[in-house]
């Protein structure tokens, strides 16, 4: 957000930001790095979104009309990888950079130079990954879950570049997570005890521990792929005594905590926003913290619910079924707490609140389908169908991504010093809300009716709902250009924002002027 550079800072530091490109290249400022993360993530969101639109265009009607099946598979794979690792995760890291120091009263992140490196790895990692699409044999075409041996023995040659890109993303994430933990544990202002921290900070602290725990597992699994492909090992090759199911166990031991990495910060965001616009403190703060921690712990014990059909022994199926069902309890607690926060409040519905309320409703719908998927016998019918696609898009798009929109609108006035255009913001919300539901709700129906996921063409009985979904996807996709316009407009100017911005806002970030000065809390504030 370039408006941050204007010289409204009221502290007594001599140096402001440097000029030109080197400002961004060399910066160690958490606000600059946060902005870069957010812009990067939005770029990836549009790129991954374009790939989704290629998919939806091909699936608009039965038959093969726009892309060949192999390219279709590259699109589904790259869409998933880019959205997970390029859009959602960096967006949350960007928000963490911007907000955590301001929320705990710290002058910057604990390890600013490493922070710079965490970010600058990403453009290179993703350029490398996207460049595989132009290589001989094409890019990754084995799904974002890259199950071996399709991703090893049967993969296109570019898979090696994919592996290297994943290693780079992993390093970036681990460094980002170390930074978050170091900042939160060491740099809180006097009086900011752990149980006084804003929920966003809590949820990120827990997320960071998840990241440190599982990103090395992802690095391990891709390294095993690498040695299988190039160095003659047989981790996943049955003909050499290896085990393709081992891949899935290791992958999902990373993969399931990973999905909570993408939703816990979202919980934190809506736990900040709903109290503000309800003008009432968050209901059950302590139980929110404990629920988030429980979800994080349980996330390590449920990975094989992604694998109910691989033929695990009965005892294994039962264990993972029960453990998965248990997650509904702390998740339910969170939803009940949000609803209770709204109950008997004094509610207004500015854009951040609209996105947060939609988050609670639509995430809960995604949670319901998740509970259904947890039932192993029923999962045999749902597994790898569009029902699953509907489920995880409900928790990721109107879940994670709506929370990111909510956060952007909520803190944009603090970042830029100007209010965004409320009318356009609401328009963005309603178009997104309609688009998301048109796209993903019909997927429940085609999934139950028997449409497998990741297919470039489908039987005729699925045609009608697929057409509806494609129309919804184009509506949702084009609407995001409106978001870009709203943000740019807000960066350029508009109504001046006050320090507290929102009537009901609480927290340290609302005590500093808007826009937030380049350096904040050089002297720690006192928290009572």
Partner 1 sequence: MTVLSHLRRPRRLSLAIAAAVLGMVPLVASAEWTLNMREGVTEISHKVFDLHMLILWVCIAIGVVVFGVMFWSMFAYRKSRGAKASKFHESTTVEIIWTAIPFVILIGMAIPATGTLIEMYDTNDSEIDIKITGYQWKWRYDYLKEDFGYFSVMETHQDELYNRAEKGEHYLLDVDEPVVVPVGKKIRFLVTAADVIHSWWVPDIAVKRDAIPGYINESWTRIDTPGTYRGQCTELCGKDHGFMPVVVKAVEQAEYDEWVLAKQEKAKEEFELQSKEWTLAELTERGEAVYAKNCAGCHQANGQGLPPTFPSLVGQGLAVGAIEAHAEIVIKGSPGTSMPAFGGQLSDVDIAAVVTYERNAWGNDLGDMLEPKDVSGLK
Residue 29: DSSP 8-state: -
Q: Nearer to partner 1 by C-beta: 168 or 328?
A: 328
CB-count burial class (<10 Å; 0-12, 13-18, 19+) for 266:
buried
Task: Determine, following the binding rule CB under 8 A, whether residue 316 of this chain makes contact with partner 1.
Answer: no
Q: Which stretch binds partner 1 (CB under 8 A): 4-12, 63-71, 91-99, 396-404?
A: 63-71
Tokens of 495: 């109504």
Q: Nearer to partner 1 by C-beta: 35 or 403?
A: 403
Tokens of 394: 């409900």
Q: Which residues make Cβ contacts (< 8 Å) with residue 84, sequence separation at least 6?
A: 144, 258, 262
What span, in angstroms and rounded, lies between the C-alpha atoms of 100 and 72?
40
Task: Determine, following the binding rule CB under 8 A, whether residue 456 of this chain makes contact with partner 1.
Answer: yes
Task: Determine, following the binding rule CB under 8 A, whether residue 454 of this chain makes contact with partner 1.
Answer: yes
Q: Which of residues 216-245 bind partner 1 (CB under 8 A)?
A: 238-239, 242-245
> 503 phi and psi, to 5 degrees?
-55, -45
Tokens of 403: 């929370």
Among 235, 260, 283, 518, binds partner 1 (CB under 8 A): 283
What span, in angstroms and rounded, lies between the C-alpha atoms of 404 and 83?
13
What span, in angstroms and rounded, lies between the C-alpha atoms of 237 and 153?
8
Q: Which of residues 253-282 bind partner 1 (CB under 8 A)?
A: 278-282
Q: Nearer to partner 1 by C-beta: 45 or 387?
A: 387
Q: Nearer to partner 1 by C-beta: 212 or 467?
A: 467
Residue 188: DSSP 8-state: P
**Residue 418: beta bridge partners?**
496
Report how many residues bind partner 1 under the rule CB under 8 A: 105
What span, in angstroms and rounded, lies between the C-alpha atoms of 433 and 354?
10
**Residue 452: beta bridge partners?**
385
Among 133, 168, 293, 467, binds partner 1 (CB under 8 A): 467
Site string for partner 1, 167-206 (x = CB under 8 A): ----------------------------------------
* CA 426, chain centre distance (Å): 22
Among 127, 461, 478, 523, binds partner 1 (CB under 8 A): 461
Task: Determine, following the binding rule CB under 8 A, whether residue 360 of this chain makes contact with partner 1.
Answer: yes
Site string for partner 1, 378-417 (x = CB under 8 A): x-xx-xxx--------------------------------
As measured in angstroms, the least distance from the Cβ of 457 to partner 1 is 5
Residues 402 and 354: beta-carbon distance below 8 Å: no
Q: Which of residues 73-112 bind partner 1 (CB under 8 A)?
A: 73
Site string for partner 1, 294-313 (x = CB under 8 A): ---------------xxx--
Catalytic center residues: 79, 108, 144, 172-173, 256, 258, 260, 271, 305-306, 331, 334, 453
Among 102, 197, 438, 501, binds partner 1 (CB under 8 A): 438
Cα distances (Å, whole numbers) of residue 310 to 155, 244, 518: 21, 10, 53
Task: Determine, following the binding rule CB under 8 A, whether residue 333 of this chain makes contact with partner 1.
Answer: yes
Tokens of 201: 């900070």
Task: Determine, following the binding rule CB under 8 A, whether residue 344 of this chain makes contact with partner 1.
Answer: yes
As measured in angstroms, the least distance from the Cβ of 327 to partner 1 is 10
Task: Determine, following the binding rule CB under 8 A, whether residue 336 of this chain makes contact with partner 1.
Answer: yes
Q: Which of residues 106-135 bind partner 1 (CB under 8 A)?
A: none
What span, in angstroms and rounded, lies between the C-alpha atoms of 48 and 59?
17
Residues 228 and 241: beta-carbon distance below 8 Å: no
Task: Determine, following the binding rule CB under 8 A, whether residue 465 of this chain makes contact with partner 1.
Answer: yes
- Provide the 3-class DSSP secondary structure of residue 28: coil
What span, in angstroms and rounded, lies between the C-alpha atoms of 141 and 63?
20
Among 154, 422, 423, 485, binds partner 1 (CB under 8 A): 154
Length of the chain: 528
Q: Nearer to partner 1 by C-beta: 171 or 325?
A: 325
Task: Determine, following the binding rule CB under 8 A, whether residue 506 of this chain makes contact with partner 1.
Answer: no
């Amino acid at each position: 957000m370039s408006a941050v550079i204007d010289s409204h800072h009221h502290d007594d530091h001599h140096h402001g930001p440097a000029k030109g490109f080197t400002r961004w290249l060399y910066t160690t400022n958490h606000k600059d790095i946060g902005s870069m993360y957010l812009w990067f993530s939005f770029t990836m969101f549009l790129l991954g979104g374009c790939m989704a639109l290629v998919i939806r265009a091909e699936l608009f009607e039965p038959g093969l009309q726009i892309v060949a099946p192999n390219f279709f598979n590259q699109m589904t794979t790259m869409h998933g990888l880019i959205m997970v690792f390029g859009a959602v995760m960096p967006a949350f890291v960007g928000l963490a950079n911007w907000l955590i120091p301001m929320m705990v009263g710290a002058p910057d992140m604990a390890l600013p130079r490493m922070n710079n490196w965490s970010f600058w790895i990403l453009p290179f990692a993703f350029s490398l990954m996207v460049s595989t699409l132009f290589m001989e044999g094409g890019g990754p075409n084995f799904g974002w879950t890259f199950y071996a041996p399709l991703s090893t023995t049967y993969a296109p040659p570019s898979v090696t570049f994919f592996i290297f890109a994943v290693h780079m993303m992993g390093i970036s994430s681990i460094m980002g997570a170390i930074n978050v933990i170091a900042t939160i544990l060491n740099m809180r202002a006097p009086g900011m005890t752990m149980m006084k921290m804003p929920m966003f900070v809590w949820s990120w602290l827990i997320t960071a521990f998840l990241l440190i725990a599982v990103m090395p597992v992802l690095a391990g699994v891709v390294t095993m792929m690498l040695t299988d492909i190039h160095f003659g090992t047989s981790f996943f090759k049955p003909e050499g005594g290896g085990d393709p199911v081992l891949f899935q166990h290791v992958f999902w031991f990373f993969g399931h905590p990973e999905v909570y990495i993408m939703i816990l910060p979202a919980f934190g965001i809506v736990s900040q926003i709903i109290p503000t616009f309800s003008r009432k403190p968050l209901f059950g703060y302590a139980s929110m913290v404990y629920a988030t921690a429980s979800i994080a712990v349980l996330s390590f014990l449920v990975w094989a619910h992604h694998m109910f059909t691989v033929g695990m022994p009965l005892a294994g199926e039962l264990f993972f079924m029960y453990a998965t069902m248990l997650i509904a309890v702390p998740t339910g607690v969170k939803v009940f707490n949000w609803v209770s926060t709204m109950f008997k409040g004094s509610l207004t519905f500015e854009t951040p609140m609209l996105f947060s309320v939609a988050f609670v409703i639509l995430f809960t719908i995604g949670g319901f389908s998740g509970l259904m998927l947890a039932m192993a016998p029923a999962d045999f019918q749902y597994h790898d169908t569009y029902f699953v696609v509907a489920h995880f898009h409900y928790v990721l798009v109107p879940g994670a991504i709506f929370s990111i929109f909510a956060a952007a609108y909520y803190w944009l006035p603090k970042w830029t010093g100007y209010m965004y255009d409320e009318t356009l913001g609401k328009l963005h919300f309603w178009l997104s809300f309609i688009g998301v539901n048109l796209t993903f709700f019909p997927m429940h129906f085609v999934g139950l009716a028997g449409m497998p996921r990741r297919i470039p063409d489908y039987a005729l009985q699925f045609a009608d709902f697929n057409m509806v979904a494609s129309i919804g996807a184009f509506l949702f996709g084009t609407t995001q250009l409106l978001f870009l316009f709203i943000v740019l407009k807000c960066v350029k100017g508009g109504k001046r924002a006050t320090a507290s911005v929102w009537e009901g806002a609480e927290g340290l970030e609302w005590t500093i002027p808007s826009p937030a000065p380049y350096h904040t809390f050089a002297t720690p504030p006192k928290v009572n």
